[in-house]
């Protein structure tokens, strides 16, 4: 039995709405609308999106220098967007365009005070996004609504297993952050942070003891961090089900099927995957029906294929609530198969369904011939190799790879090395692969662990 939580209702009904109010956000109104709108029909959802996007485009044309110029160049007036076809004629925005024109994307008349958020820069170039209060509230509301699908209520005890457990401050700021502001905020929010950066056996032992003592309803974190933690629990012979978790939420990295299975068997609870980005907020969330629903009342998601016959297309997103730094038809560099109508949901949610999300396209390797290799190829390969604890594949040239291997015990040997080289040569059009035995696989600057990286 999990420990009774007397604070959660207080946080849910008073502390959280009040904290949002102090930032100028009307939590109850937006939350109630979101709870209602998730049951709209597909047509009604499209209508709601169209109203919101028309207003956003008008605002962007009038107050955002970049859009005024870009739309002007193609002779587009705000009133010209009368149908979805018109919307689809708006040019696609890239990360590079956002970066180069940083200042000119900011509205001269934002609808609220803005705060700055930096993207993680997994491509090596961090990006600054200014977020308005309405967009920030929307992201919170989308997450709270999705967690409710899984029986998690706002204010329930939470542990976060992400990058944010470490302070990068120095001097008195570090003291203030480590001992005053962060602990206070976490206490008020009924949560604790574990850093995915420091998953040493000693830390994981401490984490396990804290989990048993704190008794969180759910944990939120990177799939790779759970994988390491689950393996540790198995090694020590601990039963993860004793944590009595209702849900594990994964975010920030692509969730592989084997990871989902490992987490489910270790903790004896379902796994929900959250998909989002700094530019767009929360974009899609797993639902108990088995599909991933898009947060259609806050974003417009498109899957754009270069050829109609392609299996996967680029994910392009429009953030409907950020009037401070409008993001319209932004290419996230992620891939998905298709979008389906919400009414396929067996549990009555009308929000659209995002199918076949395969994550960052920069983690998708393109061979010299143009053929695409998805990162799960390497996971399947590693399943046949003994003694690999962790790995990372880096594509150095279209036909040349580096395979970093963190071995487990001494079962990884020359024979295994030859096996990998042979299989890769055969499967990947004669590509060569160099094996490097390492004692550590570094995380990227945001704390995420990437299995497959393309430098091509
Ligand atoms: Zn559903």
Long-range contacts of residues 262-271, Cβ cutoff 8 Å, at least 24 apart: 262/226, 262/227, 262/230, 262/231, 263/223, 263/226, 263/227, 263/230, 266/226, 266/230, 266/233, 266/234, 266/240, 266/241, 267/230, 267/240, 267/241, 267/243, 268/240, 268/241, 269/245, 270/150, 271/247
Asked whether residue 384 falls in the same domain as residue 303, the answer is no
Q: Is the dihedral of CA 44, 356, 283, 348 positive or negative?
A: positive
* Whether the Cβ atoms of residue 37 and residue 142 lie closer than 8 Å to each other: no
CA of 313 to the centre of ligand 1 (A): 22
**What average pLDDT does this structure show over 223-245?**
93
Asked whether residue 333 falls in the same domain as residue 424, the answer is no
Q: Residue ranges of the alpha helices (H) in 190-316?
A: 201-214, 223-236, 257-267
Phi and psi of 283, rounded to 5°?
A: -105, -45
CA of 356 to the centre of ligand 1 (A): 15
CA of 293 to the centre of ligand 1 (A): 6
Asked whether residue 383 falls in the same domain as residue 354, the answer is no
State yes or no: pLDDT of 195 exceeds 50. Answer: yes
The pLDDT, as a whole number, for residue 345 is: 92
Asked whether residue 331 falls in the same domain as residue 442, the answer is no
**What average pLDDT does this structure show over 293-300?**
98
What is the domain-level CATH number for residue 155? 3.40.50.12780
State yes or no: pLDDT of 223 exceeds 90. Answer: no
Phi and psi of 127, rounded to 5°?
A: -125, 140
Quickly state the pLDDT bin for 121 (edges 50, 70, 90): very low
CA of 348 to the centre of ligand 1 (A): 7
Strand 191-195 to 128-132 pairing: unpaired
Distance CA(361)–CA(315), nearest Å, equals: 10
The whole domain housing 277 covers 7-361
* Whether the Cβ atoms of residue 289 and residue 347 lie closer than 8 Å to each other: yes
State yes or no: pLDDT of 445 exceeds 70. Answer: no
Is 127 inside a domain boundary? yes
Q: What are the CA-CA distances from residue 79 to residues 51, 59, 250 (Å)?
A: 12, 11, 41
The pLDDT, as a whole number, for residue 158 is: 97
Is 321 inside a domain boundary? yes
CA of 353 to the centre of ligand 1 (A): 8
> Bridge-partner residues for 355, per DSSP?
338
**What's the DSSP call for residue 387?**
T
Is 270 inside a domain boundary? yes
> Bridge-partner residues for 384, per DSSP?
none
CA of 7 to the centre of ligand 1 (A): 31
Asked whether residue 357 falls in the same domain as residue 428, the answer is no
51-86 pLDDT, tens digit each = 999 999 999 999 999 999 998 888 888 778 889 999
Strand 365-366 to 400-407 pairing: unpaired
CA of 288 to the centre of ligand 1 (A): 6
State yes or no: pLDDT of 123 exceeds 70. Answer: no
H or E segment and range at residue 171: helix 171-176
148-190 pLDDT, tens digit each = 999 999 999 999 998 665 555 667 877 888 888 888 999 999 9
Which of these three, 343, 361, 379, is where a domain ends? 361
Q: Among 221, 216, 240, 241, which Cα is nearest to 230's? A: 240
- pLDDT above 70: percentage of residues in the chain: 92
CA of 165 to the centre of ligand 1 (A): 32
Distance CA(35)–CA(434), nearest Å, equals: 52
CA torsion, ordered 383, 386, 389, 394, to nearest 10 deg: -60
Is 28 inside a domain boundary? yes
392-406 pLDDT, tens digit each = 999 999 999 999 998
CA of 347 to the centre of ligand 1 (A): 6
Q: Burial-class residue 189 by CB neighbours within 10 Å (0-12, 13-18, 19+).
A: middle
pLDDT, averaged across the chain: 89
**What average pLDDT does this structure show over 342-358?**
90
CA of 145 to the centre of ligand 1 (A): 13
Asked whether residue 347 falls in the same domain as residue 216, the answer is yes
CA of 179 to the centre of ligand 1 (A): 42
CA of 300 to the centre of ligand 1 (A): 18
Asked whether residue 355 falls in the same domain as residue 369, the answer is no
Is 2 inside a domain boundary? no
State yes or no: pLDDT of 256 exceeds 90. Answer: no
* Whether the Cβ atoms of residue 365 and residue 395 lie closer than 8 Å to each other: yes
CA of 448 to the centre of ligand 1 (A): 28
Asked whether residue 33 falls in the same domain as residue 115, the answer is yes
Distance CA(135)–CA(279), nearest Å, equals: 10
Which of these three, 361, 378, 407, is where a domain ends? 361
Phi and psi of 414, rounded to 5°?
A: -60, -35
Is 384 inside a domain boundary? yes
CB contact burial 97-131 (16+ within 10 A = b; e otherwise) = ebeeeeeebbbeebbbebeeeebbebeeeebbbbb
Phi and psi of 58, rounded to 5°?
A: -60, -45
What is the domain-level CATH number for residue 406? 3.30.300.30
Asked whether residue 370 falls in the same domain as residue 357, the answer is no
Q: Among 302, 359, 325, 283, which Cα is nearest to 118's? A: 325
Asked whether residue 357 falls in the same domain as residue 389, the answer is no
Distance CA(222)–CA(216), nearest Å, equals: 17
CA of 161 to the centre of ligand 1 (A): 26
**What average pLDDT does this structure show over 323-343?**
92
Distance CA(47)–CA(40), nearest Å, equals: 10
Asked whether residue 377 falls in the same domain as residue 271, the answer is no
State yes or no: pLDDT of 353 exceeds 90. Answer: yes
CA of 290 to the centre of ligand 1 (A): 7
**What average pLDDT does this structure show over 117-126?**
58
> Bridge-partner residues for 392, per DSSP?
404
Distance CA(167)–CA(162), nearest Å, equals: 12
What's the predicted TM-score (pTM) here?
0.83
CA of 149 to the centre of ligand 1 (A): 9
**What average pLDDT does this structure show over 131-142?**
96
CA of 451 to the centre of ligand 1 (A): 30
Is 1 inside a domain boundary? no
The pLDDT, as a whole number, for residue 124 is: 45
Q: Radius of gyration over alpha carbons of the chain, in Å?
A: 23
CA of 43 to the centre of ligand 1 (A): 17
Q: Among 321, 330, 329, which Cα is nearest to 107's? A: 321
Asked whether residue 286 falls in the same domain as residue 353, the answer is yes
Which of these three, 361, 393, 410, is where a domain ends? 361
The pLDDT, as a whole number, for residue 122 is: 45
**What's the DSSP call for residue 246?**
S
CA of 147 to the centre of ligand 1 (A): 13
Is 161 inside a domain boundary? yes
Give the number of domains in the chain. 2
* Whether the Cβ atoms of residue 412 and residue 338 lie closer than 8 Å to each other: no
């Amino acid at each position: 039995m999990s420990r009774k939580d007397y604070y959660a209702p207080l946080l849910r009904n008073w502390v959280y709405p009040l904290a949002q109010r102090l930032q100028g956000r009307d939590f109850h109104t937006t939350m109630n609308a979101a709870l209602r709108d998730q049951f709209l029909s597909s047509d009604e959802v499209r209508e709601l999106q169209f109203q919101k996007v028309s207003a956003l485009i008008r605002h962007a044309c009038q107050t955002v220098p970049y859009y005024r110029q870009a739309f002007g160049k193609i002779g587009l007036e705000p009133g010209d967007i009368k149908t979805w076809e018109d919307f689809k004629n708006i040019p696609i925005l890239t990360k590079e365009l956002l970066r180069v024109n940083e200042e000119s994307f900011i509205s001269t008349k934002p609808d609220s005070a803005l705060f700055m958020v930096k993207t993680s820069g997994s491509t090596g170039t961090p990006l600054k996004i200014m977020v308005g209060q309405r967009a920030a509230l929307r992201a919170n509301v989308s997450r709270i609504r999705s967690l409710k699908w899984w029986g998690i209520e706002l204010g329930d005890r939470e542990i976060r297993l992400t990058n944010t457990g470490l302070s990068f401050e120095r001097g008195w700021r570090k003291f203030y952050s480590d001992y005053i502001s962060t602990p206070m905020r976490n206490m008020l929010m009924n949560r604790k942070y574990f850093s995915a950066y420091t998953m040493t056996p000693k830390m994981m032992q401490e984490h396990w003891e804290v989990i048993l003592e704190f008794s969180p309803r759910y944990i939120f974190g990177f799939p790779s961090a759970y994988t390491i933690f689950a393996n540790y629990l198995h090694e020590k012979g601990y039963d993860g089900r004793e944590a009595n978790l209702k849900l594990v939420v994964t975010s920030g990295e692509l969730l592989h099927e084997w990871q989902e299975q490992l987490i489910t068997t270790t903790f004896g609870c379902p796994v929900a995957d959250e998909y989002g980005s700094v530019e767009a907020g929360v974009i899609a969330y797993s639902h108990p029906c088995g599909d991933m629903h898009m947060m259609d009342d806050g974003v417009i998601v498109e899957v754009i294929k270069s050829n109609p016959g392609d299996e996967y297309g680029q994910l392009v997103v429009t953030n409907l609530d950020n009037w401070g730094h409008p993001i319209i038809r932004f290419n996230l560099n992620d891939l998905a198969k298709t979008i389906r109508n919400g009414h396929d949901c067996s549990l009555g949610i009308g929000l659209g369904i995002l199918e076949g999300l395969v994550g960052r396209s920069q983690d998708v390797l393109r061979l010299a011939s143009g053929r695409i290799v998805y990162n799960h190829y390497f996971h399947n390969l590693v399943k046949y190799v003994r003694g690999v604890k962790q790995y990372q594949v880096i594509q150095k040239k279209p036909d040349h790879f580096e395979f970093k291997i963190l071995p487990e015990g001494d079962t990884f040997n020359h024979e295994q090395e030859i096996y990998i080289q042979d299989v890769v040569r055969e499967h990947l059009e004669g590509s060569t692969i160099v094996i490097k035995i390492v004692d550590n696989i570094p995380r990227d600057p945001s704390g995420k662990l990437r299995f497959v990286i393309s430098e091509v």
